[in-house]
Chain A
Amino acid sequence: MMQPKINSPTLHINDLNVWYGKNQILKDLTFDVLAKQVTAFIGPSNSGKTTLVRCFNRLNDLTTNFKHTGKILFKGNDLYSTKMNATKIAKQIGMVFQKPIPFRKSIYENVAYSARLHGINHSVELNETVEDSLRKAQLWEEVCNDLQSTPDILSNGQQQRLCIARALAGNPEVLIFDEPCEQLDAAETPKLEAIVQSLKSQYTLIFVTNKRRQAARVSDVAGFLYCGELVEFGQTEQIFTNPQDKRTEDYVTGRLG
């Protein structure tokens, strides 16, 4: 299996196996996620993509019968060590979900909430963080006059961008996008992809999608998951022009899944 070039991984996954009860969801996964690039995971439904990324911020801890073996190192530290604080991990490894779920608070408070959790309480600094996060999520121009309104006034796509701003206000190192365009209309998808590209220089980005073309557009490195197995992991260009495994070839050409 082809591995991307090494430049101090943000996440190092070594021989990861995951079960829900007796069902093995992920099998012997080993790979690195590097900073300042987009790592995409592609694969058909039930291939284990979401389970995998939920391991990175320990969201699976809440799932009954979740069991894993193997190591996930975040900047060299074992994410599942008893010394690690799951809340702290969630702050450093943010997530944007399929369906945008803004809090029932004002647009301003949605973003300020994360900043406060990050320890920002001074009003000037808080205002700066809210504006900066909304700008990074390319939403500021559209909401700067409605900061005290509730997110109900926003479109689905704008709500998703608000969720991105909220995640950014917590100053994470890693941001995971789990099929973030699933509920977006055609006009919003390019905006979200543009945001991902603009964030790349500052964050470690992980992008889960079942849209092959989207993975080809946004990612630098791509992994193809199939039935819980990481069939191929390498430079996106390689995956989409010269895949080494027949199953990857069949998936990217639309014959599989």
Chain B
Amino acid sequence: MQHHLESELKALQHQLLKMGGIAENMLRDAVQSVLNRDEGLAHRVIEIDDTVDKLENEIEARCIQLIARHQPVAFELRYLTMAMKVNRNIERLADKCVSISRRSIELLAYPPMQPLVDLPSVVHIIQQMVKDALDALVNRNAELARELRERDGKVNNIYEQMESELCSLLNEQPQLIQSGIKHLLLFRHLERVGDLAANIGEEVYYLVRGEVIRHLDISIDASVES
């Protein structure tokens, strides 16, 4: 017979994944709105954020109710604490998609800028990180969850490179300063999406292994692995 809380946790996971799926689509559309200068798509991303906000509240209320009613321990306790944090991270991720969309709309006022780096390939890494974070949750895959931290490190490096190249360009062409600032903010939003995907990975790792890797140096991961 299935334990009562088990079925509740399954329903909770279903809701979390629904929210994660919406956020994934928001990220795809927000990025497309930038690349294709599609204002309508950007507005649709902004509109859908209300759905994610509502889901965040529902999931949080559900977690609190399950903790109060079942007083969970062991895996179930880890699951519910993880769910609350993943819930928050997905909501913040959706907020970043809204910010990307807002920058996308603002950038329409300026002529397209010569791409500083291969933006689509950076976007691809970040989108894959979000997808893998949710896959790690579904499959309770600690290794995939932990590995997101490494990819986040790479994204941070690319962001720094983009920032430095943009600064050089703006030094040479100061008339691009307004558009440049919008681009800088856009890169920053994308970099934060990578952070949030890595955060979800850290929470999934805690769920599966019962160990907190948050704030640990990535170099320590090698010893964790061994």
Contact = CB atoms under 8 A, between A and B. Distances in A.
Interface of A: 212-213, 216, 240-243, 248-249, 252-255
B209 to A, nearest CB: 8
A249 B77 contact: no
Given A253-B73, A253-B76, 18 more contacts: A212-B73, A213-B71, A216-B73, A241-B73, A241-B74, A242-B74, A242-B210, A243-B74, A249-B74, A249-B75, A252-B74, A253-B3, A253-B5, A253-B72, A253-B74, A253-B75, A254-B3, A255-B3
Contacts of B210: 241-242
Q: Interface size bucket, B side?
A: 10 to 19
Chain B residues touching A, majority SS = helix
- Which 9 A-B residue pairs are closest in the complex by CB-CB distance? A242-B210, A240-B73, A252-B73, A249-B74, A252-B74, A243-B74, A253-B74, A255-B3, A253-B76
B37 interface: no
Interface string B71-105: 11111111000000000000000000000000000
B77 A240 contact: yes
Contacts of B73: 212, 216, 240-241, 252-253
- Which of A216, A241, A243 neighbours the largest number of chain B CB atoms within 10 Å of its CB? A241
Contacts of A212: 73
Nearest to A249: B74
Interface of B: 3, 5, 71-78, 210
- Which of B5, B73, B77 neighbours the largest number of chain A CB atoms within 10 Å of its CB? B73
Nearest to B75: A249
A216 B71 CA distance: 11
B166 to A, nearest CB: 45
A254 B73 CA distance: 9
A240 to B, nearest CB: 5
Contacts of B76: 253
25 contacts: A213-B71, A216-B73, A240-B73, A240-B74, A240-B77, A241-B73, A241-B74, A241-B77, A241-B78, A241-B210, A242-B74, A242-B78, A242-B210, A243-B74, A249-B74, A249-B75, A252-B73, A252-B74, A253-B3, A253-B72, A253-B73, A253-B74, A253-B75, A254-B3, A255-B3
